[in-house]
Amino acid sequence: MKVRKAVIPAAGYGTRMLPITKSIPKEMLPIVDKPIIQLVVEELVGAGIEYIVVVTSAKKAAMADYFGDTNPGLVSNLWTAGPKKAEILEELEAVKHLANFAFIEQQGVYGTGTPVLNAEPYLGGEPFIYTFADDFFIAEPNSFSQMIAAYETHGCPIVGCQRRDADADYDRYGYVAGTEIEPGVLRMDSPMVEHPGKANAPSPYASLGGFIVTNDVLDYLHKAKDILPVGQELFFHTALSLMVGDGKQVIAKEITNGQYFDTGNKLEYLKTVVAMASRHPDIGDEFNQYLKEFVSGR
């Protein structure tokens, strides 16, 4: 079955980006002239995704507003300001047509598994991409296209990953464990290990880039919820671990020919802004010249 849908969890408080996230959703922080979540959406759409469910909170209406109708006053202002502003209006109008959006409020226990269960009624039993709103790849081919190709080959859940072997990475990411059946493709044979440290990492492949989820995963996620101790968070990875433990096939696919960006903390956010500004079609050349002058102290 074709992968046409995606789920993005976006209900968190963004505490690592306070104080700005007290009033502005982390997902709406700008990467030059677009919010972070739009870059994620554009990558999904570039891979053929048509329907996107954003699982959010009542205090984050700004995201639904952004992907909705443009304010009539702004439309009027841009429409009467000449051709240049009319082009901007076309860009704004294009945003709401990127995909078919549904914004739903997260309900239930904390954890990365809950948004998936919240979105289940919108998915119609189809496989879908589950990815986060604060990190993304810029890759060729598109990172989600690479994952979909792996799904079409193997017909099972796919874990996006990237080879990350800096010492600090092993304390930052979860690492997949499995048998490499071809270069950059692992059949997972034991649960993913969170923050293993370099000495205990089961492979050099960190879980990055999201997941392709099948009905099997949803079944196991329901099982994980049923046995969840009171007061504990429901983690998405638990469902994958239960699947692997039962001998079900789960494939980890390395994202190749791409750069990973993480905007989840202040330093990585700023690195992403600089990287994306340096390749921006309108300001990239001038910005790169500024960076050279700034670094040289001129």
> Which pLDDT score, from 0 to 100, does residue 63 have?
93
- Mean of pLDDT over the chain: 93
Q: Both ends of the chain: CA-CA distance in Å? A: 57
Place of tokens 């994620």: 40
Please check whether residue 286 lies inside any domain of the structure. Answer: no
Whether residue 82 has pLDDT greater than 90: no
Q: State both tokens at 264.
A: 């989840």
> Which pLDDT score, from 0 to 100, does residue 59 have?
84
Percentage of the chain exceeding pLDDT 70 = 100
**pLDDT tens, position by position, 104-121:** 999 999 999 999 999 999
Please check whether residue 292 lies inside any domain of the structure. Answer: no
Whether residue 131 has pLDDT greater than 80: yes
Whether residue 21 has pLDDT greater than 90: yes
> Which pLDDT score, from 0 to 100, does residue 152 have?
97
Whether residue 242 has pLDDT greater than 90: yes
Whether residue 54 has pLDDT greater than 90: yes
The SS3 call for residue 130 is strand
Whether residue 234 has pLDDT greater than 80: yes
Q: Average pLDDT, stretch 248-274? A: 96
Please check whether residue 179 lies inside any domain of the structure. Answer: yes
178: containing domain = 5-274
> Which pLDDT score, from 0 to 100, does residue 199 have?
87
The SS3 call for residue 212 is strand
Whether residue 159 has pLDDT greater than 80: yes
Q: Average pLDDT, stretch 125-144? A: 96
Please check whether residue 290 lies inside any domain of the structure. Answer: no
Please check whether residue 296 lies inside any domain of the structure. Answer: no
Q: State both tokens at 99.
A: 């995909």
Distance CA(25)–CA(57), nearest Å, equals 10
Integer CA distances (angstroms), 179 to 153, 212, 277, in order: 17, 19, 39
Number of domains in the chain: 1
Vertex 256, ends 250 and 262: CA angle to 5°? Answer: 85
- Look up the CATH number of the domain holding residue 222: 3.90.550.10
Q: Average pLDDT, stretch 54-71? A: 91
Whether residue 84 has pLDDT greater than 80: no
> Which pLDDT score, from 0 to 100, does residue 58 have?
83
Whether residue 74 has pLDDT greater than 90: no
> Which pLDDT score, from 0 to 100, does residue 106 have?
95
Distance CA(126)–CA(2), nearest Å, equals 8
Please check whether residue 288 lies inside any domain of the structure. Answer: no
Please check whether residue 289 lies inside any domain of the structure. Answer: no
Please check whether residue 212 lies inside any domain of the structure. Answer: yes
Integer CA distances (angstroms), 58 to 40, 146, 282, in order: 21, 34, 35
DSSP 123: T
Dihedral through CA 55, CA 59, CA 64, CA 65, nearest 10?
A: -170
